Structure 1
């Protein structure tokens, strides 16, 4: 009989649903779906891109110690007029005055200049070192946040597939109930023909069947929503989603859970270290910056002309012609120091701001530790509650199954009416649904408890 078959299935399922000793076990197909979701998730991708950006910025800071080489080339044509006004003097013997008025010189020509210079920082007051260390800690903190995104996604994917399993289980229960009602319908039809039953019984069974059909339609709608969600999370098609199979078994979590490895806490700890390096970096601005430079230059003046005003005695202008005047090679090598002794309190304000940032992060870290500890206790409590509810659900289902068996026999013997028979059917459906729903909640509570420890991704993906 269908009832015996259903009872056997329930008994087997109860055997599988005993508390598993394997911690957060997932099937290979579910694990693959989780990995697909991680690869597809935009938030995780952006966090990893942010990590890469910070790493590039850190390298850029260290690169300030690498010499920078600059080359330049300039050509200039000049055409100028120089005016000179010197004190008036006398030429001995001739008694001829000179410089008795302003003199103007016309100059024009060409200048060609080129240089190749190298510059480097020798000492930055430890600003480069501390700045790079701050960015390294910031990079590590952002990496932890990317891991936190992964953990949240793992929980979301598993729970979404669990909900699919829940709907599948309820659908099986509805179909089993419909099969039993179909048998009752045939029995009632024969009884009506023989005058042993009335059409009212048949109509009550028909109404119960319609209610089951309504629940199946609702299940299909809920499934479509879940399929769309899983498609968004993993990129899976409907066929691929249906290929993810696993048994719904309770999760078992270890005792003495801790939040020490919570990714968000480790991220804040890294940011705290980064803020300490940032303070040291700003304090380094009180020290001088030393650098070195060296290079070679080329300078040439060519085709230049100087025209003087009328000269005494000669009473005529002089033309001076320069074909070329070149300095090459002109080697240079030296060191430089820049020491900002007073910055208008700008450095003081930057250091104060860095200290305030450090205090903010420290406050966040302290607060986060307290919140996650409270959350862990709450999640463990919820896990224990859901475990108890699941055990109660198993007992309720067992009792409801026995009651239904008795109700079928009593109805066949005419000891109870159709309403009582259908009530027993509904009780089993409700008890079995509540049991599977309690199992889903138990698994979710276990996932959330492990999530607070920061070990969810490692637990699931390293099996």
Structure 2
């Protein structure tokens, strides 16, 4: 039985407009824009989430290092059970003393066997220690921990940017694969119609059999190309789903950006030097290396700290009658076999090392920016040229088809014109893909991801 689904849907919509709105929302939810894919990746990608946890860990470590500026307070307690009491037996000395004193009975002088420490004893104390000077090491440690946190943020952004570039590539690659599949589908349908037409003309004795054979071979090739294009779509879809946490989607809704260049190479290069995260990462490492020199230099200075102790509880410790003590202590390594000197030199070499890496990185980024810019110019030229070629190829296909239908042309000429037009359209789409992928890569590397996503 034939069912008019369109009519049925209209009837349901009149009765329940809310249901239609719900169905429309569900259908639209299957579309995926590049910006939505980016937001899903930031939210659900495991590599990005793991990198964020590293940033969080460095933030907590930075907070922990600030504790070096504050005093430390500790509580300790001890309870001991000895085998015997600890005593001092002086009865022999008492006997000698009684003789000297002329006392006939030494016991009259008492028992000179004294207990100094009972076998059960215990105590509890509160201790405080506060470093007040460490030659600049405390300040350096705090600055270093702050830079390490910022380095973790840089590293996270670099990893995130690499995945964004990959996402842009995969997204537009899927766009390319979908449009290529549609073109291959159109070619297949066109050649199918042409093949059927050629068969009828042959059966009516208008064209020779060889013309139908050309059409059948072309139809077989078109089918093979269509199946390959469908596989490309499937692979590209899987690649995107892997990046965005496995979310299902049917279509990509973001169109290609039409190629154009309004910014000069010099402007892009200046932005790359000022905004690139890898350069910022190296600059932070240079700062960290310089702090390393300060840390090693601090070993030349004394370390000074305040300390204090308060007895909270004691048992059977009558000899210790102090409730508290406070004081100040200092230590100073005057000579350690030239260890400090060599460590300072090693730290300075690390500074120079990072500076050289930064210098080379700037040159590499300038070259990299020029390469991307040249690619943009190349794809822009390709796109503009292919637009003109497409118009000519469409006219040629029309003329070949009319000539064949009038019996003055061959099926091979029609197929060649059809395939030529298809190839031009494919090259045009590929130029769009390469331009958009390259432009996205450039924008991400100069920290303009949001601007790129909002532009599309």
Q: Which bracket does the TM-score occupy, shorter chain normalised? A: 0.7 to 0.9
**Structure 2: gaps (5+ residues):** 1-30, 105-111
Q: Is the 8 A contact 1:192 1:199 kept in 2?
A: yes
Question: Which position in structure 1 is the counterpart of 2:325?
Answer: 332
Tell me the SS of whatever aligns to 1:341: coil
> 1:441: which partner in 2?
434
For residues 341 and 52 of structure 2, the distance between their equivalents in structure 1, rounded to whole angstroms, comes to: 35
Counterparts of 1:64-463 in structure 2 under 5 Å? 64-78=68-82, 79=84, 80=86, 109=118, 110-238=120-248, 240=249, 242-253=250-261, 254-255=263-264, 256-257=267-268, 258=270, 259=272, 260-297=274-311, 300=314, 302=316, 325=318, 327=320, 330-452=323-445, 454-461=446-453
Question: Does the CA-based 8 Å contact 2:175-2:252 persist in structure 1?
Answer: no
For residues 148-179 of structure 1, what are the alpha-carbon distances to aligned partners after superposition, in whole Å with 9 as ceiling and x for unaligned? Answer: 22222222212212111112212222222233
| 1:278 to 1:336, Cα distance in 2 relative to 1, 3 A | same
- Aligned-partner Cα distance in 2 for 1:140–1:152: 18
Deviation for aligned residue 1:266: 0.8
Q: What is the aligned partner in structure 1 of residue 13 from structure 2?
A: none
Partner Cα separation in structure 2 for residue 168 and residue 49 of structure 1: 37
By how many angstroms is 1:407 displaced?
0.5
Q: Secondary structure of 1:167's partner?
A: helix
Aligned residues: 407
- C-alpha distance 345-59 of structure 1, shift in aligned 2 (>3 A): farther
Q: Deviations over 1:236-274 (max 9, x none)?
A: 444x2x243122232445222122210100111111111
From 58, 67, 83, the equivalent of 1:54 is 58
Report if the CA contact (8 A) 1:70-1:118 is conserved.
Answer: yes
Change (3 A) 1:178 1:461: closer
Shift of 1:298: 5.4
* Bigger shift: residues 191-200 or 433-442: 191-200
Contact 1:394 1:435 survives alignment (8 Å): yes
Indicate if the aligned counterparts of 1:299 and 1:328 stay in contact, CA closer than 8 A. Answer: no
Cα distance change of structure 1 residues 93 and 294 upon mapping to structure 2, 3 Å threshold: closer
TM (normalized to structure 1)?
0.79
Partner SS, residue 165 of structure 1 = helix
Whether the 8 Å contact between 2:259 and 2:432 is mirrored in structure 1 is no
Shift of 1:445: 2.4
Write out the 4+ residue segments of structure 1 that deviate beyond 4 Å after TM superposition. 80-86, 89-96, 103-108, 298-301, 326-329
Q: Is the 8 A contact 1:301 1:326 kept in 2?
A: no
8 Å contact kept, 1:70–1:117: yes
2:135, 2:303 within 8 Å by CA — same for their partners in 1? yes
Query: How many angstroms does 1:132 deviate by?
Result: 1.1
Measured against aligned partners, the alpha-carbon deviations of 1:175-204 in whole angstroms (never above 9, x if no partner) come to: 222333233234323322321123322222
8 Å CA contact 1:298–1:329 kept in 2: the answer is no
Give 1 or 2: higher strand fraction.
1
Distance 2:398 2:331 in 1: 94
Contact 2:65 2:145 in 1 (8 A): no
Secondary structure class of the residue paired with 1:142: helix
Q: Residue 55 of structure 2 contacts residue 149 of structure 2 at CA under 8 Å; is this kept in 1?
A: yes
Question: Does residue 37 of the first structure (1) align with residue 51 of the second (2)?
Answer: no
1-structure distance, mates of 2:194, 2:155: 59
TM (normalized to structure 2)?
A: 0.81
SS in 1 for 2:252: coil
SS of 2:337's partner is coil
Residues 304 and 328, structure 2, Cα contact 8 Å, conserved in 1: yes
CA distance in 1 between counterparts of 2:42 and 2:260 reads 24
* Deviation, structure 1 residue 229: 0.8
Q: CA shift at 1:275, angstroms?
A: 1.3
CA–CA distance in structure 1, aligned partners of residues 453 and 60 of structure 2: 29
